[in-house]
Amino acid sequence: MNHLLLPLEAQLALMRAAKTEPSASDPGKRQKAIDTTTTRIKQQYPTFFKTEDYENENQAE
């Protein structure tokens, strides 16, 4: 199985999201930023993510 890293742009976007500071009014701000960024990256680079079909095919192994 080949291991593929996300493109640099996607890696940097996730690193920026991870640096988001939570606040008293929004303690989940960092997680929201990571989730939003991950969703965008999955849309931009779908071939880097496993699909449900992949998961179902490999459960028997």
**Could you tell me if residue 51 is inside a domain?**
no
Say which residue, 41 or 50, is predicted with more confidence. Answer: 41
- Number of structural domains found in the chain: 1
Is the pLDDT at 3 greater than 90? The verdict is no
Residue 14: name the closest of 39, 34, 36 by CA: 34
**Could you tell me if residue 53 is inside a domain?**
no
**Could you tell me if residue 59 is inside a domain?**
no
**Could you tell me if residue 58 is inside a domain?**
no
**Cβ-Cβ contacts under 8 Å for 5 (sequence gap 6 or more):** 11
- Tell me how far apart the alpha carbons of residues 19 and 59 are, in angstroms, rounded to a whole number: 35
**Could you tell me if residue 39 is inside a domain?**
yes
Structural domain harbouring 13: 1-20+27-46
**Could you tell me if residue 56 is inside a domain?**
no
pLDDT in tens, 13-36: 999 999 999 999 999 999 999 999
Please, which pLDDT band fits residue 50 given cuts at 50, 70 and 90? confident
